Amino acid sequence: MLKTGVVADRAYLNHCAGHEHPECPERVRVLLDMLGGLKRNALRVIAPRPATRKELTLCHDGAYVSFVEGAAAFRDYQFDPDTYACPGSFETALLAAGGVLTAVEAVIGGEADNAFAVVRPPGHHALARRAMGFCLFNNIAIAAAYLIETLGLQRAMIIDWDLHHGNGTQELFYRSSRVLYASVHQYPFYPGTGAINELGAGEGAGFTVNAPLPAGCDDQEYLRVFDELFAPIARQFKPEFVLVSAGYDCHARDPLGQMRVSEAGFAAMARRVKRLAAETCGGKLVAALEGGYDLEALAGSTRATLEEFGREADEPAASAHAGRRADAVIEKALFTLSPFWSV
């Protein structure tokens, strides 16, 4: 059985996004309860550390970091119609970014084979100078930049299975050939980005891979994207570390989306990223919580992911055969990316 580190802390309850906001403290509370019921000797809960200002500025403008810090002086600050802060938000956001770094450090240091960071606020919409989409700092992007700029890795991959396209992550690495960003998401939908022809620019051309699926797609469509689009490109890229923006709002019960993914589907996606990490980088894999707003679905799907992370990755995942609604998206994406990859 693989050793899985879980970064979790009750301090993540201290960010309040607004009255009756879907990104609520209960999301972490149900996950802490779920973790308390898991009986696995190879599962270790790790306390997070806060990110430093230097680490935040690997991706964010220093003035923006100070702006978010200043928002903590207000009882209730609104960055945009969806994104709020309270007096505890800045410290919690430091701990969210630092929590993903803690997970990365646990895997790099051999403390865990892989890890999952149960953090909030989420991060993949956050831009270099702007909060949006419930996100203050881009936790997963900071982790990728930390791997490259601080730890000296040459190549990192981010796989984003959140319902929404990670526009912030894409923008931060759009001109980089050292971070391969691959996103499967409902389209057209918030935030309006993530079309197939958004594939990177300059040295980063071909290193952004988008699979914009129509509403109503289920496990099979998602798995075909992994098998036929993401995996072939990732094997050529040969990442030295795999990161996952693990959003569970594409679950069939989630109130914010119209996708039909199940707990079994999330386990199958986790199996694929675990297999990919085993093939390319000795299993170095960290997932970080993004969305997921039906509490029961969130707990069940996260549990399915953690259980899969703990299993040995000896056998390749079985390929999906159904999921015909993904045909056109995969075919167009492969054609668009063919100048850059052998697909």
Task: Report the pLDDT value the prediction gives residue 323, as an integer from 0 to 100.
Answer: 78
**What single DSSP character describes residue 18?**
S
Task: Report the pLDDT value the prediction gives residue 103, as an integer from 0 to 100.
Answer: 99
Q: How many CB atoms lie within 10 A of CB 79?
A: 20
List the domain range (segments joined by +) for residue 286. 4-337
Tokens of 221: 């469509």
Q: Is 9 a member of any domain?
A: yes
Task: Report the pLDDT value the prediction gives residue 316, as an integer from 0 to 100.
Answer: 60
Q: How far apart are CA 241 and CA 220, in angstroms?
A: 26
Question: Which is nearest to 103 in space by CA: 246, 236, 301?
Answer: 246
Task: Report the pLDDT value the prediction gives residue 204, as an integer from 0 to 100.
Answer: 98
Q: Is 251 assigned a catalytic role? A: no
Phi-psi region of 288 (alpha: psi -120 to 50; beta: other; left: phi over 0): beta
Q: Is 295 a member of any domain?
A: yes
Q: Is 343 a member of any domain?
A: no
Chain segment 245-286, per-residue pLDDT in tens: 999 999 999 999 999 999 999 999 999 999 999 999 999 999
Q: Is 217 a member of any domain?
A: yes
| Residue 141 DSSP SS3 | helix
Backbone dihedral angles phi then psi of residue 265, each to the nearest 5 degrees:
-65, -40
Percent of the chain with pLDDT over 70: 97
Tokens of 32: 């802490």
Please answer whether residues 23 and 121 qualify as being in contact, where contact means their C-beta atoms are separated by less than 8 angstroms: yes
Angle at 224 between CA 4 and CA 180, to 5 degrees: 60
Please answer whether residues 232 and 144 qualify as being in contact, where contact means their C-beta atoms are separated by less than 8 angstroms: no
Task: Report the pLDDT value the prediction gives residue 315, as an integer from 0 to 100.
Answer: 62
Task: Report the pLDDT value the prediction gives residue 17, as an integer from 0 to 100.
Answer: 82
Task: Report the pLDDT value the prediction gives residue 313, as an integer from 0 to 100.
Answer: 63
Angle at 109 between CA 105 and CA 110, to 5 degrees: 120
**Residue numbers in the chain where pLDDT is lower than 50:** none
In total, the chain counts a number of residues equal to: 343
Task: Report the pLDDT value the prediction gives residue 320, as an integer from 0 to 100.
Answer: 67
For residue 124, give the CATH number of its domain.
3.40.800.20
Q: Is the N-terminal amide bond of 191 cis, ω within 30° of 0?
A: yes
Task: Report the pLDDT value the prediction gives residue 318, as an integer from 0 to 100.
Answer: 65
Please answer whether residues 188 and 198 qualify as being in contact, where contact means their C-beta atoms are separated by less than 8 angstroms: no
Chain segment 107-166, per-residue pLDDT in tens: 999 999 999 999 999 999 999 999 999 999 999 999 999 999 999 999 999 999 999 999
Q: Is 103 a member of any domain?
A: yes
Q: Is 122 a member of any domain?
A: yes
Q: Is 342 a member of any domain?
A: no
Total domains present in the chain = 1
Q: Which of 15, 60, 124, 125 is catalytic?
A: 125
Task: Report the pLDDT value the prediction gives residue 38, as an integer from 0 to 100.
Answer: 87
Please answer whether residues 47 and 139 qualify as being in contact, where contact means their C-beta atoms are separated by less than 8 angstroms: no
Buried b / exposed e over 24-50, threshold 16 CB at 10 Å, is bbebbebbbebbeeeeeeebeebebeb
Please answer whether residues 167 and 194 qualify as being in contact, where contact means their C-beta atoms are separated by less than 8 angstroms: yes
| Residue 79 DSSP SS3 | strand
